[in-house]
Chain A
Amino acid sequence: MADDAISQSPLALQPEALMRFLHLYGLLWSHGEVDHPAKEMARLRNARITDCGY
């Protein structure tokens, strides 16, 4: 899961920020006007362009 990967990343060195980030990230994925496939497509394209393993 992406959240697990993030939680086990260096971001955990800032636990308060990590907690707030995961809350924001969760809202972005679970709510909103954009459907889930479109969000996933944007996430994958962003990761490909930036060469991000997540």
Chain B
Amino acid sequence: MTWLPNVDPGTFEQVMALRPDLAGAHAAFVDAFTDVLDQPVRDACRIRVAQVLGRPDLAADVAGPDRVAAVARWSESDAVSDDERVVLDLTESFVVDPHAVTAAQRAAVRDRFGEAGLVAVVEWLAILDGIVRFQTVLGIPAGAAGDGGS
């Protein structure tokens, strides 16, 4: 169901269009990470954040079933790169309990991406976490979402 009955069918973009000034600024913020993090890493984060927050429909919006399944089994899957693996390890802790993120998890991401890269990864996760929670609270279904609108 939707909590916004006047927004039909309630896609992410349609809901954000209720506040066009914020929609543009939000999209620009999301776009800032396009050149900072590689798309496979960004997409892996999108898939895993959606999975951990109980939105498999949003994960399925990002990639095909093989890729989605590989990310779900990231710790053992050969289809997940080493870059993705260290990020996904941090991703799970970030979403479940940010206080549970360990120094080793931070160091693993920093060692592969640098300090600025670690900041970018954490910011990207914050964006995705917020978007998925936003879509869940407002009952917004998957589909018709941009790169950040997972």
Contacts and interface: CB of A to CB of B under 8 A. Distances in A.
A3 interface: no
A17 B22 contact: no
Contact of A14 (B22, B26, B36): B36
B118 to A, nearest CB: 8
Q: Determine the interface band of chain B, counting residues with CB < 8 A from chain A.
A: 10 to 19
B98 A17 contact: no
B21 A17 contact: no
A11 B119 contact: yes
Contacts of B115: 10, 13
A35 interface: no
B137 interface: no
A17 B19 contact: no
A10 B116 CA distance: 8
B21 A27 contact: yes
Given A20-B32, A50-B98, A11 B123 contact: yes
Interface string B74-101: 0000000000000000000000001100
A44 interface: no
A20 B116 contact: no
B119 A31 contact: no
A51 B32 contact: no
Contacts of A42: none
B23 to A, nearest CB: 10
B22 A27 contact: yes
Contacts of B99: 51
Given A11-B119, A11-B123, A13-B115, A21 B19 contact: no
A10 B115 CA distance: 9
Contacts of B119: 10-11, 13-14
Nearest to B36: A14
The 5 closest A-B CB pairs, nearest first, are A24-B25, A17-B32, A13-B116, A20-B29, A13-B119
